[in-house]
Structure 1
Amino acid sequence: MINPLSSSHMNIKFPKGHVGIKSFDAELVDQEGNSIPSYETYLHHWFAIKYHQNITMSPNPKLRRHEDVFFQRNEGTCNEQGNPTKIKNGYEEKWLLNIMVIDTRGAQDKKACTQCRCDHMNLPKDFYNVTRDIHNQKLTTNYKGEGFQGPRRMVSLRYKISWVDWNIYQIPVKVYILDSTDKVRSNDSKILHDCLAEYTIPATGGGGDSPHVQKANIPMEKGGYLIYGTAHMHSGVVNATLYGQDGRTLCTSTPKYGIGKEAGNEKGYLIGMSVCYPQPGSIKIHDGEILTLESRYKNEFRTGAMEHFYIYLAEELPQ
């Protein structure tokens, strides 16, 4: 069961042993196991995070040490997990889920509520407690700003994992998450990344047909063959494109909006981004190559805009 707002759940059920994760899907369901549409309860995000835990860690939180738990970078699906050679002696591999949901029942503008900010990055100083809406327009006189008292209900995250037992025929991939706000700089020979994650698109006084473009130039220390690519973006997205250093298009990800009422096809909601599956071996990113990431949104005032581009790279190809 999910607690109000954001919550973390340690030691979730996860495939045991040395395995290769093929897929990891999740959805919100009610106490009857029915899928919940986004216009009732919005799944803002969910993260599956790997960590290593000391096998002697005390069940008493007051007796736990800082070194009893440390988190691992999650290299994503299609990669091996549970490799005993990569787990420190005296520790065991576990997983947690971090989940944030927003109850929009009774809200006058449900879609505006889905852009809840988890922090105060990039927000205009006068954003809160003002009389203007998300488009910088004055609120109407019939604005209803009081609370909504709805019936309490249990909401759960139902997830499904597909995997295979690891063998010599499995080829792992490495997952890179590129951020369009990344302000890359260098310290001698070391590359430093400064990612804001979210950003604000300022009001332009009419917007126009041209989209707002956020761009980042990101060097890839280690390259590989591009196996998969897609973007994570929010409502109002036009598209996102990843370019190679020579200007070639590696992948363009476009939005899909719902047209119905059922869960997964909610009208007006961003329900997915297109995926690139290039022919294995057809696109290679070289070591040290500088990639250019461009995210495009409708040119109107917007807070919490985000663009993360996920790419899966394989260092070798099937024989």
Structure 2
Amino acid sequence: MACGAECLLRYMSIVFLLFMVQSSQAQLRSENGVKTDVFLSPMFVLEPGLVSNKVYYNIDFPRGHIAIKSFNGIDIPKHHDDLRFLRSDHIIIMNSGVCDSALPQYFGLGSETRRTSTYVPDPYGIEVGNLADIPDGYEEQWVLNVHAIDTRGAEDKLGCTECRCDLYNVTADEYGRALPLNYTGGFRCCYDSTRCRVKEGFEGVKRSLFLRYTVKYVNWDASIVPVKIYILDVTDVWTKADESRGLKARHNCLVEYEVESCPVGMANDDCIHSKISTFTWPMGGDVIYGVAHQHTGGIGSTLYGEGGRVICSSNPTYGTGDEPGNEAGYVVGMSTCYPSPDSGKIAAGETLTLESYYSSAQRHTGVMGLFYLLISDSSAKPDATEAHKSGMMSDSGWVVAVFGVGLVALAIFMFYRKSARGDGYEAIEG
């Protein structure tokens, strides 16, 4: 199957919990000029062990020329492989890189967003809806992919969320292609309608679910400094450019990897798996926000500039109880960075190093070591203290109740030809 820009959400399988809330209606509020819209995805149905991987087109999203200040999607009211839906009547607006064909989304969410600030500090914003950027005959739309795993009654909840192939009893991917012999777990084993093994005799009711996502934004004006989204991957197999041979730099991001358990008898504190990627940054700019994404077992990730300068270090917070937002064993937050001008500046051609660390006290499959950056190429220099204060604005403040499900939710920005039918996406079979 051909890929490149045609694979919206390639290889993405970020895992997080779904939550129940009480309201099912979209909400709109405004505070200090920042507007907040709350939307609901279309409904999907789960039962114990079942996987749902759905794609929703032209989802509800704020319209007009705006600056996005925050995007969160965690709770479920009312209780990656390649996606096969694209035609020639769309233009995907990918993030700014650096992966060649993987990770094109604007937003990808995990359970850690509950205790992670996603707020873009003033005077910055993610610009969308500029009519000057929309080709004639097209309109702006958003696409949402929701990948959910119901872990109620699972024999091994962690194994289910890590998509261990033996628990799903699969030997081929969703296209019928045989899995590599050394592939033991990951996105290829938990595609739509697969089932993770549950305890014998366990029964659970079907649940009708949908994702609630919250967008904070302001109307665009000349005082806002635009930022670009970059997603780095520690599995990036980087090939350096060779001008003498006419070869461009390549970033082959594998997205997921496996952590083998440490030798028997080694103390758990010494069981640390490290993965490192080094590459040359293609353009200069100022990092104004950074955060890592890791799965269960992650113990932190750091992005370094030349000379060992720390650009951003992001570490997970694990839950310790059973109340919502503090579930024991799950990542419930990631620390974020709002770098100072000195540490956050990246020069064009600078060599960067990304390091991702996991505990290897036990084996982990399908883990990730991603790093999400917002970078400005503007010369504007806001007051660092005020920017930091703005960046610490809380995106939580709501109460939810957990029932044990795993999920990936990704949002993609695209232009869609106006003359096309609203439901006119057809499957491209692999």
Which TM class, normalised by the smaller chain length? 0.7 to 0.9
C-alpha distance in 2 between matches for 1:144 and 1:16: 43
Q: Residue type matched to 1:2 in 2?
A: F
Which residue identity lines up with residue 235 of structure 2 in the other structure? Answer: T
Identity %: 43
Matched, 1:2 2:2: no
Which structure exhibits the higher relative contact order, with contacts defined as CA atoms closer than 8 Å and separated by 6 or more residues?
A: 2
In the TM superposition, residue 259 of structure 1 has moved relative to its aligned partner by: 1.9
| Per-residue Cα deviation, 1:269-289 (whole angstroms, up to 9, x for no partner) | 111211011235652100111
CA contact (8 A) 1:121 1:199 kept: no
How much has 1:263 moved relative to structure 2?
A: 2.3
Contact 2:45–2:207 under 8 Å retained in 1: no
Q: Is the 8 A contact 2:317 2:334 kept in 1?
A: yes
Q: Is 1:309 paired with 2:371?
A: yes
Contact 2:163 2:365 in 1 (8 A): no
What is the aligned partner in structure 1 of residue 155 from structure 2? 108
2-structure distance, mates of 1:280, 1:170: 18
* SS of structure 2 residue aligned to 1:67: coil
Report matched runs for 1:33-48 at 5 Å.
none
Label 1:200 to 1:123 Cα distance change in 2 as closer, same or farther (>3 A).
farther
Q: Which runs of 5+ in 1 are unaligned?
A: 33-44, 46-60, 129-142
Q: Tell me which amino acid in the other structure corresponds to 1:182.
A: D
- TM superposition score normalised by structure 2: 0.59
The letter for the 2-side match of 1:256 is: T
Deviation at 1:86, TM superposition (A): 1.2
What is the rounded CA distance, in whole Å, between the counterparts of 1:160 and 1:288 in structure 2?
36
State whether structure 2 residue 316 is matched by structure 1 residue 255. yes
Cα distance, 1:144–1:21 mapped onto 2, change above 3 Å: closer
Partner of residue 182 from structure 2, selected from 122, 125, 134: 125
Deviates more, 1:282-291 or 1:89-98: 282-291
Q: Distance in 1 between matches of 2:183 and 2:236?
A: 26
Q: Which amino acid aligns with 1:10?
A: Y
Task: Answer yes or no: is the 8 Å Cα contact 2:153–2:198 preserved in 1.
Answer: no
Say whether the 8 Å CA contact 2:288–2:338 is kept in structure 1: yes
Question: Helix, strand or coil: the match of 2:158?
Answer: helix
Matched residue count: 275
Q: State the AA in 2 paired with 1:314.
A: S
Residue number in structure 2 paired with 1:93? 140
Aligned to 1:195: 253
- How much does 1:243 deviate? 0.5
Q: Is the 8 A contact 2:316 2:334 kept in 1?
A: yes
Taking structure 1 as the reference length, the TM-score comes to: 0.78
The 5 A counterparts of 1:1-319 are 1-4=43-46, 5-31=52-78, 66-74=87-95, 76=106, 78-116=125-163, 125=182, 127=184, 146=200, 148-186=202-240, 188-189=242-243, 190-206=248-264, 208=267, 209-280=270-341, 282-299=343-360, 300-316=362-378, 317-318=380-381
Residue type of the alignment partner of 1:68: D
Tell me how far 1:203 sits from its aligned partner.
Answer: 3.5
User: Does 75-84 or 158-167 show the bigger shift?
Assistant: 75-84
User: d(CA) in 2 for partners of 1:99 and 1:111?
Assistant: 19
Q: Which amino acid letter does the alignment assign opposite residue 240 of structure 2?
A: S
CA apart distance, 1:314: 1.0
Post-superposition CA distance 1:84-103 (Å, at most 9, x none): 11111110010011011111
CA-to-aligned-CA distance 1:72-126 (integer Å, 9 cap, x gap): 1146463100111111111001001101111111113322221126969997538
1:143-171 deviation line (CA, Å, top 9, x unaligned)? 97547431011111001111111000100
1:30 deviates by 3.5
Whether the 8 Å contact between 1:202 and 1:301 is mirrored in structure 2 is: yes
Q: What is the distance in 2 between the residues matched to 1:69 and 1:126? A: 34
Flag structure 2 segments of 5+ consecutive residues without an equivalent.
1-42, 47-51, 97-105, 107-119, 166-172, 186-196, 383-430
Structure 1: distance between partners of 2:78 and 2:180? 36
Secondary structure class of the residue paired with 2:59? coil
CA drift at 1:178: 0.6
Q: Are the counterparts in 1 of residues 291 and 337 from structure 2 also a CA contact under 8 Å? A: yes
Amino acid at match of 1:24: F
In the aligned structure 2, how far is the partner of 1:223 from the partner of 1:16?
31
Question: SS at 1:14's partner residue?
Answer: coil
Does the 8 A contact of 1:259 with 1:267 survive in 2?
yes
CA distance in 1, matches of 2:198, 2:377: 56
Q: Which has the higher helix share?
A: 2
